[in-house]
Amino acid sequence: MTHKEIEIKIGFDQIRIQLQNACQSQVAKHEIEKISFGTDYEAIYLSLTQITEFVNLLQTGKDLNFLALADHAQHIENLAIEGFYVRPSDWFFLLKSLTQFAEIKRFFSQEKENLYPELYKLIERIFVPKEILNELNLIFDSNGYIKDTASDELFSIRKSLQSENQNLNKRTDSIFKAAKKAGYLSEDQTISIRKGRVVLPVIATYKRKIKGLIHDESSTGQTTYIEPEEIFDLNNRICELNFAEEREITAIFINLNTNAKPYLGDLKNIFVAYLQMDLIRAKAKFAIKFNCIKPKLKRESTLYLIQARNPILSEKLKAKQRDIVPFTLRFGNQDKVLVISGPNAGGKSATLKTVCLLQYMLQAGLLIPTDEGSEIGIFDHLFVEIGDGQSVENDLSTYSSHLKNLNTILKFATTKSLIAIDELGSGTEPQHGGAIAEGIMEELIKNKCNTIITTHFNNLKLLASKYKEVKNASMGYDSQNLSPTYQLNMDIPGQSFALEIAKKTGFSTQILNRFMELLPQEQIIYEQTLAEMNKSKEKIAELEQSLTIQKENLKQQIEVYKNRSSELSKQKNEILHTAKSQALEIVSKSNKLIERTI
């Protein structure tokens, strides 16, 4: 199964969409597509550290806006092409980006490298070409308009343009007023521009009254736009100056392109840093949204998830004003196989998917939604067998596809792989399915593969008593209210609660009694034993909680005693010191009295 197929199975494709929505640049969104399951411990650790630092930065109220600079990278890279012309709008964007990058670098360098060392490393060696920055500041004003002083020639051209436009406005205004007084123009008409030239909007019936060049007419044909011959020369002169202005601006930027070429490598480095920062920021935004943390990263294959939550499921439930039920799971080292059982619709598959999703997220370099204290190892591969694998193209039934995938897992899984199988052995006659499932489980145990499965088969639950590597877990069920609790209970197999669920769905007592008669006696005893074990575990949990509270109370009382004992000891020392001082004073006075008496 490819990584893309696994991502869809476990929901990582939706995580990817969330990350893309948090990116500021289109290039970063494309880079998010490249995120995948990795096995390089150092690279994963670095990614988690960088994201954690950015989370800490965002939580101080500071944010960095990256202006989507990476989207303009290609235009600047084309500087290497002879004769290529970068548009002024792209140069102005570069100016804003260089200015901002210089501020970001200054921010991190002002003792911030101690707070965000890995983020600072991304930019500390990147050089901001001040020569290009200064030249851009000479060309553009704060609004991106090219300054008159960008060159001496441009200043001269624009000064002439200003003078000629003033002359044109005076002359045109005079002609306009005369034509309007003569009734050649409508009352609501004003001077217009057509093809860059000043024209009068003349009523069509009077177009012969004004000598000049017709440039256009209205859609109704009632208005004709005429350039009076008296302003031909002025319009021509202004057009010539506009062309000269364009040529001079082009020359300015051609010169800028030439000056910038030696700094192309530095500019590319800045683009890369912006892209990296944008990606890290998006991951940090995601982490804050779903309360993700950096777990303790382990080199060995192990899992200890504390209060784990599925971010996609969490968001869906939140939309329905419901809270997700987190779970705690410990797995790995000596425990090589975890068997999760329990009632239908009790959350077994959701729990399995969540484990796979969080593992995939971590090895894709993302923080995960668990509580502090969680520990996760690095696995060399993730094998997932979840959901309906029916294939019309390959003429495979669901069960055939299931067996084919299991055979692939047995062939290629290693002791450092993580295997997740939903409803192992299901899809065929129960006795045969259970036997095949048990045989596969024994092979996985023999190969020391890290495996988590969900099942209803009792023979798989009983393997925990046969193999020390197998551990049971179950999904909670409220037998009083006949509803799942979605809580994961470690170290105890789950009940099916099939009869209870049947009762809840409305079957009559007569039919339910018949169900009981048809059940094998050993199955009834097994279910009753599990129920008693669950009750015992609940009592033990209550006792443990009560003991914890008592221990805490005792700890507080001991602390109070220590404080009081310390205070009494302090008072005792103070009293003894005072008494000693008073005694010495009495002796001293007595000696003086005796001396005077003698």
Per residue in 89-101, pLDDT (tens digit) is: 888 888 888 888 8
Q: And the tokens for 446?
A: 């023999």
- 3-class secondary structure for 18-69? HHHHHCCCHHHHHHHCCCCCCCCHHHHHHHHHHHHHHHHHHHCCCCCCCCCH
227-280 pLDDT, tens per residue? Answer: 787 788 888 888 899 899 999 998 998 888 888 888 988 888 888 888 899 999
222, pLDDT greater than 90: no
- Report the pLDDT averaged over residues 418-437: 85
Q: Within 13 Å, how many C-alpha atoms sit on residue 523's CB side? A: 13
pLDDT category of residue 45 using cuts at 50, 70 and 90: very high
pLDDT the model gives residue 482:
65
For the chain, what is the mean pLDDT?
Answer: 83
Instruction: Give pLDDT, residue 391.
Output: 44
Specify the 3-state DSSP secondary structure of 298.
Answer: strand
**169 CB neighbour count, 10 Å cutoff:** 13
Amino acid at the residue 227 = E
- Determine the pLDDT at residue 478: 74
Residue 396 has pLDDT above 60, yes or no: no
pLDDT above 90: residue 152: yes
> pLDDT of 505-553, one tens digit each?
667 777 766 656 655 655 555 555 555 566 666 666 667 777 877 887 8
Please say whether the beta carbons of 203 and 188 come within 8 A: no
For residues 238 and 244, what is the distance between their CA atoms, to the nearest angstrom?
Answer: 10
**pLDDT (0 to 100) of residue 208:** 77
- Taking the C-alpha atoms of residue 256 and residue 254, their distance in angstroms, rounded to an integer, is 5
Cβ-in-10-Å burial (0-12, 13-18, 19+) of 297 comes to middle
Range ranked top by mean pLDDT from 350-354, 461-465, 531-535: 350-354
Tell me the CA distances in angstroms from 484 to 18, 328, 501, one per residue in order. 30, 17, 10
Return d(Cα 245, Cα 478) in angstroms, integer. 81
Q: Which amino acid is at 533?
A: M
pLDDT at 225 over 60: yes
Do the Cβ atoms of 420 and 384 come closer than 8 Å? yes
pLDDT of residue 593: 75
User: Contact at 8 Å (CB) between 419 and 413?
Assistant: yes
pLDDT for residue 392 is more than 60: no
CB under 8 Å to 447, separation ≥6 — which residues? Answer: 410, 413, 415
Residue 494 has pLDDT above 80, yes or no: no
More confident residue, 482 or 419: 419
CA dist list (Å): 556 to 543, 545, 550: 20, 17, 10
Residue 586: pLDDT band by 50, 70, 90 thresholds?
confident
- Mean pLDDT of the 194-217 span: 79
Report the pLDDT value the prediction gives residue 310, as an integer from 0 to 100. 94
Residue 483 predicted with pLDDT over 80: no
The CA–CA distances, whole Å, from 503 to 348, 499, 506, 511, 515 equal: 21, 6, 5, 10, 11
Half-sphere exposure in the Cβ direction for 185 (13 Å, CA):
19
Lowest average pLDDT, out of 50-64, 197-211, 312-326, goes to: 197-211
Q: How confident is the model at residue 138 (pLDDT cuts 50, 70, 90)?
A: very high
Kindly list the distances between the CA atom of residue 502 and the CA atoms of 341, 427, 487, 513, in Å, as whole numbers in the listed order: 18, 21, 21, 11
pLDDT of residue 527: 59
In this model, does residue 309 exceed pLDDT 70? yes
Q: Are strands 296-298 and 375-377 parallel, antiparallel or unpaired?
A: parallel
Give the list of residues 6+ apart from residue 305 with CB closer than 8 angstroms, or none.
327, 328, 329, 330, 355, 358, 370, 374, 376
* Model pLDDT, residue 556: 81
Give the per-residue pLDDT at 393: 43
Q: Taking residues 168-193, report their average pLDDT.
A: 78
Contact 435, 314 (CB under 8 A): no
Residue 305 pLDDT grade (very low, low, confident, very high; cuts 50, 70, 90): very high
> Cα–Cα distance between 567 and 559 in angstroms, integer?
12
Q: Work out the pLDDT band at 9, boundaries 50, 70, 90.
A: very high
Tell me the Ramachandran region of residue 144: left when phi exceeds 0, alpha when psi lies from -120 to 50, beta otherwise: left
Cα-only R_g, the chain: 40
Q: Which residue has the higher pLDDT, 206 or 512?
A: 206
CB neighbour list of residue 263: distance below 8 Å, 6 or more residues apart: 129, 131, 132
Q: Is the dihedral of CA 307, 308, 313, 319 positive or negative?
A: positive
| Calpha distance 173→266 (Å, rounded) | 54
How does residue 150 score in pLDDT terms, banded at 50, 70 and 90?
Answer: very high
DSSP-assigned states of every residue in 74-98? HHHHGGGSTT----HHHHHHHHHHH
Over range 429-437, report the average pLDDT. Answer: 83
Q: Among 268-277, 288-297, 586-595, which is the least confidently predicted range? A: 586-595
